[in-house]
Amino acid sequence: MFSTSLSETQEQIMLAARKIAKEEVFPGSVERDANAEFSRDILNKLGELGFLGMMVPEELGGAGFDAVSYALAIKEIAKADASVSIVLSVQNSLVNWILQYYANDTQKEKFLKPLAQGIKIGSYCLSEPEAGSDATQQHTIATKTDGGWILNGMKNWISTGINADLNIVFAQTNSELKHKGITCFIVERGTQGWEPLKGENKMGMRASDTCSIAITNCFVPDENVIGSVGQGFTLAMESLNGGRIGIAAQAVGIAEAAFEASVKYAKERITFGKPIIEHQMIQSKLAQMSAKIDASLLLVLKAAHKKDMHENFIQDSAEAKMFASATAVEVTREAVQIHGGYGYVREYLVERYYRDAKVTEIYEGTSEIQTIVIARELMKKY
């Protein structure tokens, strides 16, 4: 049975994340956004506290927390700087998850432990120029050779692609089998033929690097294949189910930050002789914002709880991401509106929240894809 009450441990993790977000993540966030500056120092601090291996068991170097705790931590970090929360989401939900559940013992020791300990950062390389929402269309080819595979192709929209120490890469090993011929590989930073290209100049999430990666005759040894050959598409889809919880939590964090800034401003801004928070129109906006944020958070916690209970959470995570991302876009837009002209300038943070929010409707499955996922799950049930 899903409960909205948090355990003492979950509460403590949320408060710890809130503290480090306020003291370490928020300072400098405006400058990092303006300069598109990736901060390894902040990630090192978060790694030391276990935030880069939250759901990995302690024996594998992680913190051993549950998905609810993870979602709450992502939310708090995203309130301070959503760009930083991207790295946490990709690392915990996608990279670590695949290695934890599908890597062999040798791979876990070599790759998962340093990731979980925050020593290394990982990226998730699924998207391609012709494989966005339709991830079955992988054109990166892996050709078998003595002792391994030769990879050739292009990946794009790769979060942390420039700074990642290792990369989870999906490539086609048997084109005739289509999506059943996709395999998952580990490619380490500095491998010959692996070339991250110039970072994208993005509208939002600017302090998280995003790039395309050119892959040219890149040799990957057999011991760096994750799972079995041809199992890659299954790994990708299963990891994205959990990844959507992280992005939904991120969206809630962005929305909360915009809402709190709006309440503060509405109490201070005087028009027609009184604070604007006393005007009914502003009250209506704030009430709608608050209700939708609360509903989004409940959807996130429900999905995370079902994941912790090892129940089917596919529909729940898709609903959480679809609703929370739409809420983040709406709330941040209204936040700019409440601030008026001030909301349009960088001196006030809501313009950044607005820019950051939009991508939550796009990456790790667009809102349109979420509706398809939800509908498919509904058809199974009824």
pLDDT at 3 over 70: no
Which of 37, 260, 364, 368 is flagged as catalytic? 364
Residues 110-137, mean pLDDT to the nearest whole number: 92
Enter the pTM of the model: 0.95
The residues facing 210 across adjacent strands are 159
Greatest CA span in the chain, whole angstroms? 79
CB atoms near residue 23 (< 10 Å)? 11
Backbone angles phi, psi at 84, to 5 degrees: -65, -35
Q: What pLDDT score was predicted for residue 319?
A: 98
364 catalytically annotated: yes
Encoded tokens for 307:
């994941």
The residues facing 172 across adjacent strands are 141, 182
Encoded tokens for 118:
């925050």
Dihedral sign from CA coordinates of 215, 221, 223, 225: positive
Q: What pLDDT score was predicted for residue 20?
A: 96
Confidence tier at 132 by pLDDT (50, 70, 90): confident
For strands 141-145 and 122-125, give the pairing.
unpaired
User: What homologous superfamily does CATH list for 234-381?
Assistant: Butyryl-CoA Dehydrogenase, subunit A, domain 3 (1.20.140.10)
Choose which CATH entry (1.10.3720.10, 1.10.540.10, 3.30.1050.10, 3.90.1150.10) describes domain 8-121: 1.10.540.10
Q: Which CATH architecture has domain 123-233?
A: Beta Barrel (2.40)
Confidence tier at 382 by pLDDT (50, 70, 90): confident
Contacts of 245 (CB under 8 A, 6+ apart): 67, 70, 71, 93, 300, 303, 304, 307, 313, 317, 320, 321
| Tens-place pLDDT, residues 67-103 | 999 999 999 999 999 999 999 999 999 999 999 999 9
Q: What pLDDT score was predicted for residue 136?
A: 85
Confidence tier at 147 by pLDDT (50, 70, 90): very high
Tell me how far apart the alpha carbons of residues 353 and 297 are, in angstroms, rounded to a whole number: 17
Residues 29-53, mean pLDDT to the nearest whole number: 95
Tell me how far apart the alpha carbons of residues 80 and 25 are, in angstroms, rounded to a whole number: 6
The residues facing 155 across adjacent strands are 213
Residue written as token pair 């030769």: 150
Confidence tier at 381 by pLDDT (50, 70, 90): confident
Output the CA–CA distances (angstroms, integers) from residue 147 to 139, 227, 252, in the order listed.
22, 17, 46
Confidence tier at 336 by pLDDT (50, 70, 90): very high
pLDDT at 1 over 60: no
Confidence tier at 105 by pLDDT (50, 70, 90): very high
Encoded tokens for 338:
């409440």
For strands 148-159 and 194-199, give the pairing.
unpaired
Tell me how far apart the alpha carbons of residues 154 and 376 are, in angstroms, rounded to a whole number: 30
b/e string for 246-284 if b means 16 or more Cβ within 10 A?
Answer: bbbbbbbbbbbbbbebbbebbeebeeeeeebbeeeebee
Q: What pLDDT score was predicted for residue 219?
A: 98
Q: Say yes or no: do domains 8-121 and 123-233 share a fold.
A: no
CB atoms near residue 198 (< 10 Å)? 9
| Tens-place pLDDT, residues 356-376 | 999 999 998 999 999 999 999
Tell me how far apart the alpha carbons of residues 297 and 260 are, in angstroms, rounded to a whole number: 15
Q: What pLDDT score was predicted for residue 2?
A: 60
Angle at the Cα of 25 from the Cα atoms of 84 and 291, rounded to 5 degrees: 75
Domain coordinates in residue numbering, the chain? 8-121, 123-233, 234-381
